[in-house]
Amino acid sequence: MSRDSRAVPFAASVPVAELVERAQAGEARAVARLISMVEDRSPSVREVSAALTPHTGRAHIVGITGSPGVGKSTSTSALVTALRAEGRRVGVLAVDPTSPFSGGALLGDRVRMQDHATDHGVYIRSMASRGHLGGLSASAPQALRVLDAAGCDVVLVETVGVGQSEVEIAGLADTTLVLLAPGMGDGIQAAKAGILEIGDIFVVNKADRDGAASTRRELRSVISMTDRPDGAWKPPIVLTVATTGEGIPEVVREIAAHHAHLDASGELTGRRLARLRREIEALALTDVQRRFAHLSGHARLDTLAEEVLAGRLDPFAAADTLVEHL
């Protein structure tokens, strides 16, 4: 699969079933077209999802999170190289929750990923999530489903930006990598943002800098304080220099080890079921929200807001009216 393939769009008339077949055969243009369809929420998104679902469940979804500046992009690129060297098919989904723009021209397709642009075993896609109800939960699972059905062994999901999206990424992934860098005060910030709780593997990148050892020590002490049942996964800490590839093979090994652990313990199924519950719920709530917007008469949202502003109705009673008129 290559970057160039997206330049030639498919005719809109190609049936979904045929697109899915071609995507499964590894045809990059078909993959690109399917992701666009699920991302644009085109009317055929339901048809696409229905056609894809039976072919999913094989890909190992790996989330990559961390504060800006820790080297997420470079690490992602280095991981792609290492996974490709093992002959694995790799997908990359770069999500920018602060950008209203989505699609072909951004992020994942940018310079930093050009090393992989002509590699037919790599599929790279960027998407935005700003403004969607439920943020990432809206389109990202559909895009992951396309990459999964297209035969990717591993899909790396990388956030660009900061904040709650990091926790959302963990919600999408089987395995979550938390990246830190020495001397950025990341230890405390990470604890604050709760990303220590979501990390399955911790990577201290830029380990050639001062402070890598103390960042590792600090992390290790936090990790050791967490109560874990017997047999539970204990998050390893790997030191890397993503720019040179140092430590990357160990990250790849830990990713595989975590997958094996999830599989053996039954946790893989548990995580995926939890993810599907959230996805189904988010889709249903989006549908309900759309229905709210179409109510008329005294159940119109505008009318209800005016009544509350005038002090004639309280917001809970207004909400009841909405739900009753669904």
46 binds a copy of itself (CB under 8 A): yes
281 binds a copy of itself (CB under 8 A): yes
**SS3 (DSSP) at 63:** strand
**SS3 (DSSP) at 256:** helix
What is the phi/psi pair of residue 67, to 5°? -65, 155
306 binds a copy of itself (CB under 8 A): yes
283 binds a copy of itself (CB under 8 A): yes
50 binds a copy of itself (CB under 8 A): yes
280 binds a copy of itself (CB under 8 A): yes
Nearer to a copy of itself, 191 or 257 (CB): 191
Q: Which residue type occupies 82?
A: A
Among 164, 221, 226, 265, binds a copy of itself (CB under 8 A): 164
Among 111, 225, 296, 316, binds a copy of itself (CB under 8 A): 316
Nearer to a copy of itself, 213 or 288 (CB): 288
Region label for 42, one of left (φ > 0), alpha (ψ between -120 and 50) or beta (otherwise): beta
Sheet with 237-239, strands from edge to edge, namely: 122-128, 90-96, 154-159, 60-66, 175-180, 201-204, 237-239
Q: How far apart, in Å, do the first and last CA atoms of the chain sit?
A: 45
Yes or no: say if 136 and 172 are a contact pair by the CB < 8 Å rule: yes
Considering only the stretches 103-111, 112-120, 219-227, 298-306, report the one whose residues sit in contact with a copy of itself under the rule CB under 8 A: 298-306
**SS3 (DSSP) at 145:** helix
- Residue ranges that bind a copy of itself, judged by CB under 8 A: 45-46, 49-50, 52-57, 97-98, 130, 135, 141, 161-165, 192-194, 269, 272-274, 276-277, 279-281, 283-285, 287-289, 292, 301-302, 304-306, 308-309, 311, 313-320, 322-323, 326
